[in-house]
Amino acid sequence: MTNAPMYDAAKARITSLVEGRDPQTPVAATPGWSVKDVVAHLAGGLRDFADRRFDGVESGEWGERQVRDRRDNSLADAFAEWDANLVRAADLFDTPMGPVLVSEVIAHEHDLRSALGVPGDRDGVEVRAALVRPLQQLDQRMRENDVPALRITLEHGDRVLGHGEPAGTVRTTSFELLRAIGGRRSADQIKALDWDGDPDVWISSLALFGRHRPEPFEE
């Protein structure tokens, strides 16, 4: 499945997931945001992707701005904007930005699943696809900063991040890795995974957005 159909399928699952639910339900994976805010972020984020507006990504202000600017909008407004911005961003799915969009929507799908008590779709190709771009980014960052190479063993095979022979190994699932590097796990939760080697060597490198969650998060 290519990027656009995968994104559309995730959007359809999210639409079904939140239908009839309280839009103000808190989403613990994204502290301070409600179900409505997450959808508003997906809608606004897609607009920013189309406009190539990425200021504040590292600090988190990128997403906070999108939510803040839409605080008075309804959930229906958020979905309407999402539909409109999907048309605006349609050409991005055949560019290197496509895997980024897939990663974003899959991560937030699971944020909403956790908030609404409807876990699922953790073992499919969508989660593995959502890891493609984040792992490329982490690999590049580790190489640039001369971090020792790390072997990651997942249910469908191995991946080595960094340059040279791996100095350690971590064994986990694609879902847990996606949540860990995406800021949905604490440093202590990541250190508690199945490691060969000292996880402190890599713990800071495994933060896609430069930070791990300060408190443990179970889902």
Model pTM score: 0.94
Contact 29, 111 (CB under 8 A): yes
Kindly list the strands in the beta sheet with 194-196, ordered across the sheet, starting from the edge strand earlier in the chain. Answer: 157-161, 150-154, 168-171, 194-196
Q: Are residues 191 and 111 both part of a single domain?
A: no
Cβ neighbours of 13 (radius 10 Å): 19
Whether 29 is covered by a domain: the verdict is yes
Q: Are residues 142 and 93 both part of a single domain?
A: no
Distance CA 148, CA 167 (A): 6
Tens of pLDDT along the chain (219 residues) come to 699 999 999 999 999 999 999 999 999 999 999 999 999 999 999 999 999 998 888 777 999 999 999 999 999 999 999 999 999 999 999 999 999 999 999 999 999 999 999 999 999 899 999 999 999 999 999 999 999 999 999 998 999 999 999 999 999 999 999 999 999 999 999 999 999 999 999 999 999 888 899 999 999
Q: Are residues 86 and 45 both part of a single domain?
A: yes
Which pLDDT does position 119 carry in this prediction? 96
Q: Are residues 108 and 13 both part of a single domain?
A: yes
Cβ neighbours of 179 (radius 10 Å): 25
Which pLDDT does position 111 carry in this prediction? 98
Q: Which domain covers residue 188, as residue numbers?
A: 137-201
Whether 93 is covered by a domain: the verdict is yes
Q: Are residues 12 and 74 both part of a single domain?
A: yes
Whether 125 is covered by a domain: the verdict is no
Q: Are residues 98 and 176 both part of a single domain?
A: no
Distance CA 204, CA 14 (A): 31
Whether 160 is covered by a domain: the verdict is yes
Which pLDDT does position 1 carry in this prediction? 64
Q: Are residues 74 and 168 both part of a single domain?
A: no
Whether 72 is covered by a domain: the verdict is yes
> 190: helix, coil or strand?
helix
What type of residue is 47?
R
> 55: helix, coil or strand?
coil
Whether 213 is covered by a domain: the verdict is no
Domain termination residue (choose one: 116, 148, 172): 116
